[in-house]
């Protein structure tokens, strides 16, 4: 199974490999005050430069899986995707305030988003600052939350978008749709939507790389005499030419009838494997005919030459010593 990422957007690329840390989760979080707090206390920074946190956060990336037919992987397709994501609230346009109202400056921190406390420690007096509990560090509060989104600035909704699946995708291919993921809180930008492709198994054709493979039954007599057999391919009916003396496992290759190369041009091949069928349930007349044939070929008592099933380890070893 191959795995690759296709970017579908004309906008500047933003690659996102891991979800970003939630705001405020950075650094020495759990201890009550951070290294920078201590440094601020020593060098007089006093935490004045940081200011309140922004309410707008980038939305989460979303991943959906899409199953397609092998034919769609060969030629590409357009698929309608129905997804449940968060979109910007239409009532408050993302700021979370009821129409006609706005954000109020936090009374506790006066809009700074953090409160300072002085602590005694073995270092002397240390001034620490921590996010304001009242406004969660935003410096402002929503006194009249939007009734549609409860102040979050976004609502969940179901929407349908048309995805152009490029020819050549395989199971595991991920298509990135920029800014089609969840909209962030507080009017923040949307994350990206990733669509992971799964190609459904086909009853006839198996894919290996960009080649397609299938088996076709060839009666023993036809294999011996040579024959032409019809095959329905994704490109319509084709004739398969089996030469006289076709052996089990011999292949007929139809060039360029495989899967389209995802990167670059052209297509793989369609490779048809001969499955030579030995007849069963012969009538007396058929047995007589075959015995006559065997007699003509001097095969009434075949010698039965023996060969290994495959080379394997010992075979390779023997080959290696043959040259010595």
Query: Interface with Zn ion by CB under 5 A: which residues?
Result: 89, 91-92, 106, 108-109, 132, 134-135, 146, 148-149
Q: Which is nearer to Zn ion, 74 or 109 (CB)?
A: 109
The candidate with the shortest Cα–Cα distance to 21, out of 50, 58, 64, is 58
Q: Which is nearer to Zn ion, 46 or 107 (CB)?
A: 107
Q: Which is nearer to Zn ion, 137 or 268 (CB)?
A: 137
* Residue with the two structure tokens 């405020």: 24
Beta carbon of residue 231, minimum distance to Zn ion (angstroms, whole number):
59
Beta carbon of residue 106, minimum distance to Zn ion (angstroms, whole number):
3
Q: Which is nearer to Zn ion, 187 or 268 (CB)?
A: 187
The alpha carbon torsion through 246, 247, 253, 258 (nearest 10 deg) reads: 140
Q: Which is nearer to Zn ion, 91 or 104 (CB)?
A: 91
Q: Provide the strand spans (E) within the chain.
A: 5-8, 62-68, 77-88, 103-105, 114-121, 124-131, 140-142, 154-165, 174-177, 193-199, 206-208, 211-219, 227-233, 236-242, 251-254, 270-277
Work out the burial of residue 6: count CB atoms within 10 Å of its CB; fewer than 13 is exposed, 13-18 middle, 19 or more buried: middle
Beta carbon of residue 182, minimum distance to Zn ion (angstroms, whole number):
15
For 293-308, b where at least 16 C-beta lie within 10 A, e where not — what string?
Answer: eeeeeeeeeeeeeeee
Query: How crowded is residue 149: how many other Cβ atoms within 10 Å of its Cβ?
Result: 21
Beta carbon of residue 107, minimum distance to Zn ion (angstroms, whole number):
7
Beta carbon of residue 33, minimum distance to Zn ion (angstroms, whole number):
18
CA distances 71 to 201, 255, 258, Å, are 11, 17, 10
Q: What is the DSSP string of 81-101?
A: EEEEEEEE-TTTTTS-BPTT-
Beta carbon of residue 151, minimum distance to Zn ion (angstroms, whole number):
7
Q: Which is nearer to Zn ion, 89 or 218 (CB)?
A: 89
Q: Which is nearer to Zn ion, 89 or 177 (CB)?
A: 89
Cα dihedral 206, 2, 76, 235 sign:
negative
Beta carbon of residue 130, minimum distance to Zn ion (angstroms, whole number):
11
């Amino acid at each position: 199974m191959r795995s690759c990422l296709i970017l579908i957007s004309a906008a500047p690329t933003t690659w996102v490999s891991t979800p970003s840390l939630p705001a405020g989760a950075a650094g020495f979080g759990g201890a009550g005050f951070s290294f920078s707090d201590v440094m601020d206390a020593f060098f007089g920074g006093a935490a004045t430069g940081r200011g309140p946190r922004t309410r707008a956060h980038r939305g989460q990336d979303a991943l959906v899986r899409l199953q397609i037919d092998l034919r769609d992987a060969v030629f590409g397709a357009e698929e309608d995707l129905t997804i449940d994501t968060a979109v910007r609230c239409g009532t408050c346009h993302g700021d979370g305030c009821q129409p006609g109202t706005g954000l109020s400056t936090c009374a506790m921190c006066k809009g700074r988003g953090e409160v300072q406390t002085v602590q005694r420690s073995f270092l002397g007096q240390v001034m620490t600052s921590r996010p304001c509990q009242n406004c969660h560090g935003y410096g402002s509060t929503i006194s009249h939350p939007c009734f549609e989104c409860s102040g979050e600035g976004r609502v969940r909704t179901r929407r349908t978008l048309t995805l152009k699946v490029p020819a050549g995708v395989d199971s595991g291919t991920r298509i990135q749709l920029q800014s089609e993921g969840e909209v962030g809180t507080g009017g923040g930008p949307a994350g990206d939507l990733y669509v992971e492709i799964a190609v459904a198994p086909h009853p006839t054709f198996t894919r290996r790389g960009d080649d397609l493979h299938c088996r076709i039954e060839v009666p023993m007599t036809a294999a011996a005499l040579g024959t032409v057999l019809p095959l329905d391919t994704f490109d319509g009916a084709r004739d398969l030419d089996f030469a006289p003396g076709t052996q089990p496992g011999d292949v007929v290759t139809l060039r360029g009838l495989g899967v389209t190369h995802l990167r670059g041009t052209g297509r793989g091949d369609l490779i048809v494997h001969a499955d030579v069928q030995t007849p069963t349930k012969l009538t007396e007349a058929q047995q007589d005919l075959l015995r006559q044939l065997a007699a003509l070929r001097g095969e009434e008592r075949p010698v039965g030459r023996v060969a290994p099933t495959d080379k394997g380890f010992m075979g390779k070893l023997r080959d290696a010593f043959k040259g010595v």
